[in-house]
Amino acid sequence: MKNMLESPHETRSGWLKSGNPPGDLSSAARCEAKTKRGTACMCPAMANGRCRLHGGLSTGPKTAEGIEKIRQATTKHGRYSKQNNAETADYRKLMEDCRGILAALSCNGTVE
């Protein structure tokens, strides 16, 4: 076991998760994004020039398969889907027709 008094901090090897070299964090490149106040972001930048918070929006899926996966993943209940809207319209039309027939019936059960 190493003596902790001789070497309290080992030097790290390899790159940090942000893509920056290990060492003094204050010397790392800074994010190029602007904050809501209009000042520069002070977080260390990744390889793309932005920090982990300002990395940018996703460009979204490009293939038909990817678009379908996103569409399925974001459907929560289908209440406003095209299929459900068509079924609702058909049901309302049927109910309107039924109300018309009932209104046309007289009290004795014959159609006028």
Instruction: Tell me how far the alpha carbon of residue 41 is from its chain's centroid.
Output: 23
* pLDDT one-digit tens code per residue, 34-92: 888 889 888 888 878 888 888 866 778 899 999 999 888 877 777 888 899 999 999 99
pLDDT at 87: 95
Domain boundaries, the chain: 14-54, 80-112
CA atoms within 13 A on the CB side of 5: 0
Q: Please name which of 73, 91, 94 lies closest in space to residue 83, comparing C-alpha atoms.
A: 91
Mean pLDDT of the region 5-27: 66
* pLDDT confidence tier of residue 109, bands split at 50, 70 and 90: low
Taking 50 as the threshold, does the pLDDT of residue 1 lie above it? no
Which residues, 6 or more positions from 56, have their beta carbon under 8 angstroms from its beta carbon? Answer: 48, 50
The two tokens of residue 18 are: 């942000």
Start-to-end CA span in the chain (Å) = 103
Mean pLDDT of the region 9-23: 66
CA atoms within 13 A on the CB side of 112: 8
Global confidence as pTM: 0.34
